[in-house]
Amino acid sequence: MRTIRYLDIAGDIRRRVVAGEFEGGLLPSEATLSGAYDASRMTVRKALETLRDEGLVESRQGFGWYLPAAAVPQTLAHLGTIEASLAAAGVVAERRVLDFAYRRRPPPAVAKVLGPGPVLEVRRLNLADGAPFARVTVWCPEALGVELSRADVERSPFYELLPVAIGGATQTIGAALAESDDAEVLGVPMASPVLRCWRTTTSVEGEPVLVSEHVFPAHRTEFVVELPRAAPSMAPSGLRLVTISRSG
């Protein structure tokens, strides 16, 4: 008796997973697999669900099918770098600079923090064990970044390169959908869920010295906050509670 069709497809996808064929841990869409195997999407989905029951793949609404991997935790208890978080998780970190340029006019949101003057803008890709982990864009006042080279920022974090002492940072984290450029560099579907972090770093004197935007595929990381029991407020350190007023 011939093997049921969806089991054939499941077996072949299983073989491809074991062979490491799916770079970045993301499987092709159901529509793509349907065309590749000349099968209905229902048959392909049943094959994928079989592999999910085995623990070999996972799925998320709006994201698709991917290989399960433990999300890398990033603590909000102190100011740190992506590299430090990856190292703490036992993951090999790599930085790849995508763009390095001096801009006469920064984006409005950056100018609001750093002022309207020229900035160094660096766009990079952070990798974890060779797979895309985050797209990061950093803006630095030209006066502080004028001595930096592309090789410098590819080798080391800005915190180790700036000629000023770092005092701290304010970071906002929110959910967003991957835009086309980020989807391409992160290897995720367009409009798939991402975590977007906007950070303003200050010197010990309290002057803004860096603005950065971090975009993470939602399944690759999680942010961890400690909640001290004896704290005078219910708000954890590093987070701000927002009160929404309702009229009427």
Q: What is the pLDDT of residues 12-35, one digit of tens each?
A: 999 999 898 886 678 998 999 999
Please state at what angle helix 5-18 crosses helix 41-53, rounded to 10 degrees.
Answer: 60
Mean pLDDT of all residues belonging to the chain: 89
In the chain, which segments carry CATH 1.10.10.10?
A: 5-66
Answer whether 133's CB lies under 8 Å from 126's CB.
yes
Q: Say what percent of the chain tops pLDDT 70.
A: 90
Its sign, for the CA torsion 142, 147, 153, 157, is negative
Give the pLDDT confidence score for residue 246 in this predicted structure: 42
Global confidence as pTM: 0.80
Q: What is the pLDDT of residues 135-154, one digit of tens each?
A: 999 999 999 999 999 999 99
CA–CA dist 242, 200 (Å, integer): 19
Greatest CA separation for the chain: 77
Beta strands of 142-220 (E only): which ranges?
166-177, 193-203, 208-217
In the chain, which segments carry CATH 3.40.1410.10?
A: 72-224
CATH topology of domain 72-224: Chorismate lyase (3.40.1410)
Of the listed ranges 25-34, 194-203, 238-247, the one predicted with least confidence: 238-247
Q: What is the pLDDT of residues 225-237, one digit of tens each?
A: 888 876 555 455 5
Write out the two tokens for 204: 């010990």
CATH topology of domain 5-66: Arc Repressor Mutant, subunit A (1.10.10)
Section 199-217 average pLDDT:
97
